[in-house]
A and B are shown apart, each in its own frame.
Chain A
């Protein structure tokens, strides 16, 4: 696993002390809030409805047991005993006091963690496929590339004050699990006809107020040219991005306004003019970094595992869990185990300190000390022997982390919404919980099959509602919470933005409407193999429209 080198360590320590000084000066009145706010945001510290919120970076979602234990300690000592895993593969604390934050940052630094570049108009933490280095469909582990970009972009003077925040995602697999085409820059590791590995570069994707799917600006970029090419893209953006209007400042707007062809031409022109002396460095650096991500020594083992097969037969709960939460591993006899942080009726992505410690212990014992945070707000044990699954399952049951619902309808993404977030227009978490309760029965979930619901509490779309098979957006209408439902979103290879089904509905009508949509799907699908998006593409939105109306009546009637 990647370790910070001494250089990183020193930067992080200096930042902690610098921030300690800044907090002191804010508290004694020598800094105004206007002066202080950008400084705290640069350290990942937001002020939310009830307290300060700290966003801790988990680069490409990979972390080790010692780090997870430290996160648990901080949750216990400084928060209210829990943390929240987010769609940005981060962890957020919800209840911090400003005066404690410098000490918290110090504790994070002790385990090589920080909150730098989790906020502000800089290049944010690079995200990657959470099955990196594990997935059977992978051309190459995306994390060395992600890490190369992280090192290059961290505190890069030219890109500290971009027109707006900038998010980069990398995937090295055939199936895009990192939603790269809804990022400012999406990078796909690909192989060309000659069999060489390089990059496809997408620019200008994003969600939020103006959702856009990224456009391919280079089909195949030779590997060594990556940083120079990114530099060219960022220079064009830095020069022409709209600084006059926050809502038009993202690169997606620039790409859209110029058109993909013109934007690409400008990038290529900029690229031609760059002095390219960084290339050799990048190549050596990439090789050096890749060593840190070398897979742990896993011996091939018998597959399928007899032990697991017998245990599955004897234990229906394990059977369900194994059917839904195991992901094929590159190495025979192993699996990447998805631990659902979505127990029915609880806030999606919240984990208690106790649960974090269980995760850390399990990772240490069964997964070479390694965990991943997914943008689905779950945790993965990436290197588990199939033989060990029954023992792990038992521990997960005790810890409340054994929900057999990975990628099923109750594996809902929800942003914090108005229960925490100062920007929210409506709540998200209670809506997620109510929907989970409707579909709690595991047999029913299994019958429905893979179906994603994603919920955001305002137009900023932190819950990715645009790319949910079913998306829910919470707004306000005449002093009440009001929810818009979209159908057809897909974050993967065929990235599609969902389309609105109709007028918004009240909170208490949402679970019923979702149930009616799902019932309609079950009725119309051509067989259990036909997934929701396929049915929708075949029949269109119309058959689903009555769902909004019908359920409003039953909700009224039962009220």
Chain B
């Protein structure tokens, strides 16, 4: 191990670092400075743990594709984002586990997320998007686009897929937000996680009695067949519920802010055909990279990369927001260009943990961006962009509120 408790980490730069309020879409200046200094840097996490920060796009892909880097949260050196006792097991299913168990569990729930199944859902998503826009237009001419559009669309979709009653929206939305925000005090975070777990476990039990065509019923069936225990099934439910709506909601809202601030780009999306909208979705995923503050891993063996040696036991953070602005891969990386056509961004991660819901997310974003600005051409911010409450404290970047008029 390069770092022991005795190593003084106080001199290392801190990561994550604050963004510049004047450039809310760009990574933190201090993180950019580390990126300029090299593809692998030593940084200090808020917990005080010294870790590697991987800033280069190619190096991130190499490492995320390397099975010697582990996602196992129970490993004594896995970098925890906040000061807390080491968990005895992953509370969010396979995202914090390694193969082969990770692959076994992931494959159990992969079916609804294939390209074909997702395409079959497109008309239903279009209907949801249109209904939310109808409701907004029927109300007062000032709305919070987060509460009225960005959150309900992916929430309705994931509820439908999982078999979670949308009537419980307030409950799971409040608890997911508490889990995701970095500043939530530990007891509150644990309470929120516990509430979500009990809720999903209860639903799995219900589905065992009256199965439907949804993911939780599928998991209940596997519990009955002894392939997985109830505890594990509920945790996968928690993972899908949280991952399935927070990320996409933030992309819808933040993407809208970015486009409203880049009117020429917005015009291209509004006037564009399906291919243009699809290309804009990839570019916004790259440009905004809402999963901020780094994917976390721990090295199981020594790994040589970019002239450095990551030692067994070292913590590693992969700053996706930095890799997606790597000038060696993306020309003029800080420019938002909806015609860029780059599909090799890392907004969904890389390696065997690459986002399971990515095809669904893509389709939801295509329908949302492809419909909203056409149907409300006069959409504009109701406050100055500088006054928007950006989610600097979240593991997922976005805005808490998005006041708009039209």
Real complex partners, A and B?
A: no
